[in-house]
Amino acid sequence: MQVTEFMDKDHAAMEKLFASLVARGKDRQNLRDRFAQFRVRMERHMAWEEDVLFKIVEQKTGGQSILVEELTTQHARIKELLAGIAKAIDDGTPFGVLRDDLDAVMSAHEKMEDSSLYPWLDQTLSAGERDSAIASMKSLGKHLQG
Q: Which residues bind Fe ion (CB under 5 A)?
A: 49, 113
Q: Kindly state the smallest distance separating residue 31's Cβ from Fe ion, in Å.
A: 24
Q: Kindly state the smallest distance separating residue 18's Cβ from Fe ion, in Å.
A: 13
Comparison of 23 and 140: residue with beta carbon closer to Fe ion = 140
**Which letter does DSSP use for residue 128 in this model?**
H
Q: CB–CB of 86/33 below 8 Å?
A: no
Comparison of 12 and 97: residue with beta carbon closer to Fe ion = 12
Distance CA 116, CA 122 (A): 10
One-letter amino acid of 14? M
Q: Kindly state the smallest distance separating residue 63's Cβ from Fe ion, in Å.
A: 20
Comparison of 18 and 113: residue with beta carbon closer to Fe ion = 113
One-letter amino acid of 146? G
Distance CA 121, CA 56 (A): 8
Q: Kindly state the smallest distance separating residue 106's Cβ from Fe ion, in Å.
A: 9
Q: Kindly state the smallest distance separating residue 135's Cβ from Fe ion, in Å.
A: 18
End-to-end CA distance of the chain: 17
Comparison of 82 and 113: residue with beta carbon closer to Fe ion = 113
The Cα angle at residue 90 between residues 140 and 38, in degrees rounded to 5? 30
Comparison of 99 and 113: residue with beta carbon closer to Fe ion = 113
Give burial (CB, 10 Å; 0-12/13-18/19+) of 6. middle
